[in-house]
Chains A and B, each alone.
Chain A
Amino acid sequence: MKTERLPETIQRNTPMPATPRKNRQPSSGKTVSQQERIKQEEFQEEAVAHINALYNYALHLTMNPDDANDLVQETYLKAYKFFDSFEKGTNCKAWLFKILKNNYINKFRKNAREPGKVDYDLIKDFYHSIKDAQSDSEDLNAGYFKSLMHDEVYQALNSLPDEFREVIQLCDIEGFTYEEIANMVESPIGTVRSRLYRGRKLLRGKLNEFAKKYGYNTDTEEST
């Protein structure tokens, strides 16, 4: 899609601007119950605050901004419908990630990548679509995308088999606990541990490959 807007990047840990909390009066046309309004406000405070994290997760899963958009919308639609079943005080972000992941599996099951396999064509297409979009609107975040395309770390992470990439992403990028990750990937904590161990080992190997190939210094060698 040529006219597609490129996603903007954010600084890690940038808090979402608080959702404006107008004291909404029931509009004259449509009566919203008091209960419904409380739910809306709670939902916006608890759930909408995680939209950037969810969008990034969706981007990583789908490798496609349009699909990521759809996936996040469907996730929030579902989350809002079942918001009553969300246990207050537990991790809302983890709850949303789980919904998104389930949605993704249901939606893309047919084309879903086999665990342990990497769809290099998909990754290639992703980079190509970025390239196309970039040449169309050189000024719009082009720099970020250029750095993304050439970024050895990003490519290294994406080249990992899904089962490893996923736990690394959930742990190192999103900061979930092992218990939360185990729940999300529906595996025992021991499996999460060993996937992280093996995943990081693989990743390190990839980073070293890139470092050699492009002459980068990944600055990971101990000089002991």
Chain B
Amino acid sequence: MNCKKAQALLSAAVDGELSLKEQQEFEAHIAKCADCQREFREAQKTKNIIREKIVRFKAPQSLVNSIIRLTETTTG
């Protein structure tokens, strides 16, 4: 596997979306390519930052209630 192929697979490697064969080839490549390995680690960290830091809001209770009411008054 060359760097170009490794980069094409990089996001899928971060997200666990590679096939077993791709995974093995990718791992073999980053084991000997420092550049791709660094990029892989950085992409992983970026993903983790987003997962941990983005603020999530709770749907307002009025909205939840109106959705529940909706199913009781609407005939599908």
Asked whether A and B interact, the reply is yes
Q: How many A-B residue pairs have CB under 8 A?
A: 138
Rounded to whole angstroms, the CA-CA distance of A147 and B53 in the bound complex is 10
Rounded to whole angstroms, the CA-CA distance of A69 and B67 in the bound complex is 11
- Say how far A199's CB is from chain B's closest CB, in angstroms: 8
Interface residues of A in 1-54 (CB under 8 A from B): 5, 7-12, 19, 36, 39-40, 43-44, 48, 51-52, 54
Question: Does A95 interact with chain B (Cβ within 8 Å)?
Answer: no
Q: Is the interface of A mostly helix, strand, loop or mixed?
A: helix
A154 touches B55 (CB 8 A): yes
B56 touches A52 (CB 8 A): yes
Residue interface bits B15-53, CB-to-A below 8 A is 1, else 0? 101000000000000000000001001110111011101
Interface residues of A in 138-190 (CB under 8 A from B): 144, 147-148, 151, 153-154, 157, 168, 171-173, 177-178
Rounded to whole angstroms, the CA-CA distance of A10 and B59 in the bound complex is 9
Question: Does A64 interact with chain B (Cβ within 8 Å)?
Answer: no
Count of chain B residues with a beta carbon within 8 Å of a chain A beta carbon:
39
The interface of chain A, by Cβ under 8 A from chain B, is 5, 7-12, 19, 36, 39-40, 43-44, 48, 51-52, 54-56, 59, 65, 69, 72-73, 76-77, 80-84, 144, 147-148, 151, 153-154, 157, 168, 171-173, 177-178, 193-194, 196-197, 200-201, 203-204, 207, 218, 220, 222, 224
